[in-house]
Amino acid sequence: MEWNTSIWVRFMPMCRVHDFQPSDVLNPKGKRTLQLLSGIVNFFHFRDTRKEVYNEYCLSYKSALENKHQLQKAIQEAETKVEKLMTVPPEQQAEFKALSADIHDLQQILSQEYRAKDIAFQEKISQQKADFTEKNKKLNQHKLAIATMKEEQERMKSQIVESPEQRKSKTERMKETVHKLKQSRQETGEKCDYYREKLSLASQWQVAMQGYIKKLQNIDANLEMCRKIREETRQMEEQVVNVNLELKSFSNEDAQLKRTLLLKKEKLAKLDIKNKKKQEDFNQQKQEILEVCSHIQEKRQAVHGRVAQVLQEIQQKSSKKEELLEMADEEKKKYQEVIKDFRAALEKYHDSLEKAFDRSAERKREKIAELNRRLSRR
């Protein structure tokens, strides 16, 4: 019984009941047992919640480690992809450099030639168009002059009677003017043919220029592909930076979880110290029992007349001692089970106390009513 009370004395401060007395169990009272039960129940609830929190911390720590490993793998894969995209194989480096230099030179040369030839060709076309318009204007003017001269000739024929010499001279002059007009017309036709040839050459030049423009467009498409590849590499670098930031946050969470684990370990160390202290108390009690047994053995040796009885008592005491040791070991092993059973018993006891309290209150009310009836009769 003393051993059980010592267990209670050590257990109740863990339940935040610091004023526990053995009389609270030996001579229980209603309010006091309610206080003890509430402390024990609160202790069990607190222990269960702390276990759940500790398990959650362990699970979150494991998940954080798994996420960290996955992110590290993703970063390594992204870095390898970026390196593959950015680096040119050693077999193709010389070819790549030569092609890039040739493309750059061709771009500059083609752009310069295209601009110079385009400017010169546009100037020639504009000049030839201006000459062609001027020649057309002159031809139209000559046609108008011939038409007016014919009209004037017809009008003069009707008005003036000319001499044959004057008519011959006029006809000769008219023939000369007609010959000149024919020559000018022939020259304008030749020039028109020349300009037509120039226009056909210009169309051929336009076709060649369109071919050069297509080549330039292909070069621009290749440059656009290079630009897209650079943009993809830049995006991959940004993703790597974001993943590094996430890794830093996970490392911070990891450090925080490690700190919480250290705190939990410190608490567990404190609990181990308390358990060791309990074990020392148990060993001390065991030593006291052994001392009592040795004292009894000395008394047995002092008594010579009652050797047989003393031997029998020694056997009984040794058997009792072994039973006590076995009981102590069993009670130590079944400590948690006893607490659970005691909790259930205390709950039942609490229910019986409540029922008893209700019955006593009902009896008090009945007695008061009976007293009131007697007083009213008097």
Query: What's residue 148's pLDDT?
Result: 80
Residue 294: pLDDT over 80: no
What digits encode the pLDDT tens for the residues 150-191? 777 677 666 655 556 666 777 777 778 777 777 777 777 777
Whole-angstrom distance, CA of residue 92 vs CA of residue 64:
43
Percent of the chain with pLDDT over 90: 0
The answer to whether residue 273 scores a pLDDT higher than 50 is yes
Q: Supply the pLDDT for residue 345.
A: 76
- For residue 3, the model assigns a pLDDT of 44
Predicted confidence at residue 304, as pLDDT, reads: 62
Give me 151's structure tokens. 């009209």
- Average pLDDT over every residue of 13-26: 77
Rounded to two decimals, the pTM is 0.27
